[in-house]
Structure 1
């Protein structure tokens, strides 16, 4: 892991397209601004982990679902 120190108003460049800027610091909270292309999804890590878990759960087939699919007729 790369660890950098930045002050308010300073930024970090990630590749050519992403800039991470320290907008403000208030006590133990740091407000960050992210400038990135619209096609890049940006999530807080805890939300990203929830998305991964939901996707995993949604992709698992139960025996009931398999039986339902077997019994579905194409009309």
Structure 2
């Protein structure tokens, strides 16, 4: 891991300058970053990427037989959901 020290309004450049990360502000233990990148570059928070990976793994572990319990066996339609309770 490369560790760099930056102050507010200082930046880092990646991919030959096509991606730029700027320190916008520092307040206590929170740092606000601005990221300039081409539109085809996906930028996501790490916890979202990890959650997506876990969801994908969980979905892949479900067998077709397990899914069958959630469908109407005669018509192949999903079971009706209960209507939400009014407040």
TM-score (norm 2): 0.66
Specify the alignment match of 1:42 in structure 2. 43
Greater RCO between the two (CA within 8 Å, min separation 6)? Answer: 1
Normalized per residue, which structure has more helix?
1
- Unaligned 5+ segments in structure 2 are 69-87
- Aligned counterparts of 1:28 and 1:35: Cα–Cα separation in 2: 23
Q: Extract unaligned runs of 5+ from structure 1.
A: 68-75
Residues in 1 aligned to 2:50 and 2:14: alpha-carbon distance in whole angstroms: 22
- Tell me which structure has the larger Cα radius of gyration: 2
- In the TM superposition, what whole-angstrom CA distance separates every residue of 1:27-54 from its partner, at most 9, and x where no partner exists? 1110000111111111111111001111
Aligned pairs, how many?
67
Matched, 1:25 2:41: no
Moved over 4 A (4+): none
Q: Could you say what the CA RMSD is over the residues aligned between the two structures, in angstroms?
A: 1.9
